[in-house]
Amino acid sequence: MNNPREGAQAVPTSESDLLVYLWGISDDEDWIRANSRWSLDTARVFGLAPRLAGIGYDPRPLDRYEHKVLARLFVLRELLQPLPDSQIVLIMDAFDTLFLGTGQQIVATFRNQKTQILVSAERAYTYQWAEYRHKFDTIDSPYRYVNAGTIIGYAGALRYLAQTCIAYLGQGFAHGNDQGLLGKFVFDTFDTPSFVRLDTSCELFWVTTRDAEALRESPFRNPVTDTRPLILHVIGGGREHAQLYREIGQSILGAGDPPR
């Protein structure tokens, strides 16, 4: 595998503009940290210190819903509440993600997208309602469908996202999960990319659904989009692709100091 920092350049953007959260909705923080090892350790290589979102959260009020992962929306709303609207927040899965860039690079890449919320995109249309697919199918990229596992945005905009998705639960969508509700949110805001945009060129996020072989051959540059994503979301990293996920994580940890 090539050096994951090959070609990486730091940019003059303040890392203090970024807060990073990893999902950790559990009473067992040690278990969450153990399973988040590769995400946490690769973050530290690049000078990042992610916080765990949801430790100790009581999900019992959500027992009436089919998908307990909906707790993420309520945790997100809670953690965003004290933040200024201009705060940039990255919120992402913990058990199958890896970092390939500094906070400066992440913030700069997000700002270059000229949007308030950037949502990761994948090749597969999963956990979403079929009636919303037609808009996404107009996108000229194989990475055209919503993935809820990696999102970045301004706190004010993300607060609106969380509140809107929670409101959907009372509007006949209580059978959906967080990805389905986020898909509806992006569908409803599809024509305002200055507010919400999918990362269809994998500038920041590479969600590797259907890309296992491409990832194995080129883990630090997406050969389809010819971009160098700063965050890898290795689908199946905790299951069928666990070995590949660990190998890439080990490669990142062994690559030396992050770029200056």
- pTM (2 decimals)? 0.91
Express as a percent the part of the chain with pLDDT over 90: 85
Name the token pair of 90: 């990255």
Q: Are 205 and 121 in contact (CB under 8 A)?
A: yes
Residue 65 and residue 69: Cα distance in Å, rounded?
Answer: 9
Convert the pLDDT of each residue in 169-228 to its tens digit.
999 999 999 999 999 999 999 999 999 999 999 999 999 999 999 999 999 999 999 999
Predicted local distance difference test score (pLDDT) of residue 259: 39
Name the token pair of 184: 């509806």
C-beta neighbour count of 171 within 10 angstroms: 8
Q: Is 129 exposed, middle or buried (0-12, 13-18, 19+ CB in 10 A)?
A: middle
The domain made up of 15-253 has a fold known as Spore Coat Polysaccharide Biosynthesis Protein SpsA; Chain A (3.90.550)
7 pLDDT higher than 50: no
Residue 81 and residue 103: Cα distance in Å, rounded?
Answer: 22
Q: In what order do the strands lie in the sheet with 145-154?
A: 51-55, 18-26, 88-92, 145-154, 117-122, 196-199
Name the token pair of 153: 């945005």
